[in-house]
Amino acid sequence: MSEVLKLILTGMGTVFFILIMVVILGKIIIRITNMLAPAIQVATTSKQSSAEIEPAKLAAIVSAVETVTRGKGKVTFIEKLSE
């Protein structure tokens, strides 16, 4: 029974360690990429101005983006997609 317990703990410990390493390395790669990659700026040539969108809907969209991105995102263009 003792060997089984050691084997289970060793296996779970190894998996836990590898998952932690994946998370840490992923965060490091993301930070390096964000520092080295130039920021992409999109030209704002819109067919529909934001004045055509109801102010309440525009406020809700902006609020949702700020909440999801924790204040790092910014709404620059809104376009209604037709299906």
Using pLDDT thresholds of 50, 70 and 90, give the confidence band for residue 41.
low
Cβ atoms 58, 78 nearer than 8 A: yes
Helix, strand, coil proportions of the chain in percent (round to 5)?
A: 65, 0, 35
Q: Give the model's pLDDT for residue 25.
A: 97
User: Position of tokens 């819109």?
Assistant: 46
pLDDT exceeds cutoff 70 at 37: yes
Round to whole Å and give the CA distance between 6 and 4: 5
Q: Give the predicted TM-score (pTM) of the model.
A: 0.44
Cβ atoms 50, 79 nearer than 8 A: no
**Domain range list for the chain:** 1-40, 41-78
